[in-house]
C-alpha cells in the first residue's frame, strides 16, 4: 500500500511538473499578434533566406534538433496537416540549432525531415526566445505571430489546423521589422 501511494505521489509530481514546464516555456515565447522578427539564415544547401522572402504566405517556424523525439512527433503532425490541407496552405521552415550540417543531412537522408532546413543562429534563437524543443511559431500573411507553442502535446495538430485554416483564407501583405 505504501508503495502504491508513493508511486501515485511521484506520478502526480511528474504530471504537475510537465504541465508547469510547458506553461513556463510558452509564457516566455513571443506574444500572439506581435510582429515576427525578420532574419537571414543559411539553408543546408548554402542559400541565404529571409523570413520576409515568404511575404503573403502562412509560415511555420519549427524549432527542432536531431534526436528529439517530441520534435519528430510535432513534425509528423505538421506533415499530416500538409497532406490533409495541401502544401499550398503554409510553408515550413525547419529551424535547427545544430551547426554540424553533416549530422542534419544524415537525419534528413533517413527520411525524418523533408522540408527546408536552415541553420538557426544564436541571435535568431534568442530573438524568438527558444528555451525548449520543439517550439513552433505560426506566422500569418501580415507577419504577425498567431500561435507560439513549446513542447509536444496531444492536441498540437488540432491547434495548428485551426490556426492554419483561419490564416490561409485571409488576405494581406506581410510586415517585418
pLDDT band at 105 (very low <50, low <70, confident <90, very high): confident
State residue 106's pLDDT score.
85
Count how many residues are written for the chain.
177
pTM (two decimals): 0.82
pLDDT digits (tens, 9 = 90+) for 41-85: 999 889 999 999 998 999 999 999 988 999 999 999 999 999 999
**All domains in the chain, ordered by first residue:** 2-168 (3.40.30.10)
Phi-psi category of 149—alpha, beta or left, where left has phi over 0 and alpha has psi -120 to 50?
Answer: beta
The DSSP element (H or E) to which 146 belongs, if any, is strand 145-150
What is the percent of the chain with per-residue pLDDT over 90, rounded to a whole number?
Answer: 62
Residue 20 has pLDDT above 80, yes or no: no
State residue 17's pLDDT score.
44
pLDDT band at 170 (very low <50, low <70, confident <90, very high): confident
State residue 16's pLDDT score.
42
The DSSP element (H or E) to which 50 belongs, if any, is strand 48-50
Beta-carbon contacts of residue 176 (< 8 Å; ≥ 6 apart): 35, 36, 37, 38, 51, 52, 55, 143
pLDDT band at 115 (very low <50, low <70, confident <90, very high): confident
Strand partners, 130: none
CA–CA gap between residue 22 and residue 25 (Å, rounded): 5
Amino acid at each position: 500500500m505504501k508503495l502504491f501511494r508513493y508511486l501515485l505521489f511521484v506520478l502526480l509530481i511528474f504530471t504537475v511538473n510537465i504541465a508547469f514546464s510547458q506553461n513556463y516555456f510558452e509564457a516566455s515565447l513571443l506574444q500572439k499578434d506581435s510582429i515576427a522578427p525578420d532574419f537571414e539564415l543559411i539553408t543546408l544547401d548554402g542559400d541565404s533566406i529571409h523570413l520576409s522572402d515568404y511575404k503573403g504566405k502562412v509560415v511555420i517556424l519549427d524549432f527542432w534538433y536531431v534526436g528529439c523525439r517530441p520534435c519528430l512527433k510535432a513534425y509528423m503532425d505538421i506533415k499530416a496537416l500538409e497532406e490533409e490541407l495541401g502544401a499550398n496552405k503554409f510553408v515550413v521552415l525547419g529551424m535547427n540549432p545544430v551547426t554540424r550540417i553533416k549530422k542534419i543531412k544524415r537525419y534528413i537522408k533517413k527520411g525524418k525531415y523533408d522540408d527546408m532546413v536552415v541553420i538557426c543562429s544564436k541571435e535568431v534563437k534568442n530573438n524568438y526566445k527558444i528555451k525548449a524543443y520543439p517550439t513552433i511559431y505560426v506566422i500569418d500573411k501580415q507577419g504577425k505571430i498567431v500561435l507560439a507553442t513549446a513542447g509536444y502535446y496531444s492536441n498540437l495538430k488540432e491547434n495548428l489546423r485551426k490556426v492554419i485554416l483561419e490564416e490561409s483564407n485571409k488576405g494581406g501583405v506581410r510586415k517585418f521589422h
